[in-house]
Structure 1
Amino acid sequence: MSGSYWHVTTDQHQLLDDPKHQALTYHEQDGIEVDWASEAYEAIAHMYSMIWYLADKAAEGDKARALALVEEARRNEKAGFAASPGVAPPPDDEE
């Protein structure tokens, strides 16, 4: 699957600290240079941290249980998405 959890983590569920994921590729949007690759990596790192915070809290500090919860969530990501608030529609163009 493109964009897989495994594309940004190791087999031990550690977030990859790989410079290619943090490449400085700038694109101009509305006259402002935006570093999309860096922004995407930062968003991934934030979500990774939130996943592990919630797993650790649910497992009450039991690291093996937290790992099992993260693996269960990874295997059931479609059910997780279905339980989420979903995706917001794109904003209307203001032309």
Structure 2
Amino acid sequence: IGTSLPELVTSIVAARKNEVDMALGNAIGSNVFNILMVLGIASAISPISIITENIIDLCVLIVFTVCVWIFAGTKKKIGKIEGFAMVALYAAYAVYIIIR
């Protein structure tokens, strides 16, 4: 939450100002940076081993990505219903991580 909260606030402000490109670019750019740069630097310092839980998390990430593509591809926009669905998917995944 601590690293993603500033991006969330920026995206919400941009979306309210009808600057959709800014909101989407901020979210995608932040995720790409976190995956490639942060994970790359951490792996360069101390190698990260792949365990079963990591593979499950990667599969969940792929499924969520496909869901976003489907939501965005149907009407070329992500509406409130899709937004609530994505928040619900995130909440379910967070519960799964806590239980695991």
The structure showing larger relative contact order (alpha-carbon pairs under 8 Å, at least 6 residues apart) is 1
Which has more strand, going by share of residues?
1
Whichever of the two has the greater Rg, that structure is 1
Q: TM-score range by the shorter chain?
A: 0.3 to 0.5
